């Protein structure tokens, strides 16, 4: 297998991931602010429990996705500094599942909140 390009590409990739992570943290803060300042819903059992409405679930999922993606960025940054190996399949799958889960939760929150 041919070695990957040792140029600036790994550094650019790491910087792009960090910018994306900063954007995700900002979005998380908006989600959490929206959740904490909203009126509690009433109606069904899950919504009547404090903090367990659709916004609360979305806020928890956003925080979980941020933690998972921050871990992936940290691991991959260390891998790129150590060498030029390709990302592992497990690392890609974990980050993909976190992003898909966050997207599905956001779509569900929008659908339930409308």
Beta strands in the chain (DSSP E): none
Please tell me the pTM assigned to this model.
0.71
Q: What is the CA radius of gyration of the chain?
A: 18
Q: What CA–CA distance (Å, rounded) separates 52 from 68?
A: 22
Counting Cα atoms < 13 Å in the Cβ hemisphere of 110 gives 6
Token representation of residue 94: 């974990």
Give the pLDDT confidence score for residue 41 in this predicted structure.
57
Residue 111's pLDDT is: 75
Q: Over its length of 114 residues, how does the chain's per-residue pLDDT go in tens digits?
A: 555 566 677 778 778 888 888 888 888 888 788 777 776 655 554 544 455 677 788 888 888 988 998 998 888 888 877 776 777 888 889 988 988 888 887 787 677 664
Question: What integer pLDDT is reported at residue 42 of this predicted model?
Answer: 56
């Amino acid at each position: 297998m041919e070695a990957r390009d040792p140029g600036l590409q790994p550094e650019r990739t790491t910087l792009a991931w960090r910018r994306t992570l900063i954007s995700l943290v900002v979005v998380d803060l908006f989600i959490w602010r929206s959740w904490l300042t909203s009126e509690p819903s009433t109606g069904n059992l899950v919504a009547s429990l404090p903090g367990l409405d659709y916004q609360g679930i979305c806020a928890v999922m956003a925080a979980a996705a941020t933690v998972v993606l921050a871990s992936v960025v940290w691991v991959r940054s260390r891998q790129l500094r150590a060498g030029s190996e390709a990302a592992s399949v497990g690392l890609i799958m974990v980050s993909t599942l976190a992003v898909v889960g966050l997207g599905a939760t956001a779509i569900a929150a929008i659908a339930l909140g409308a």
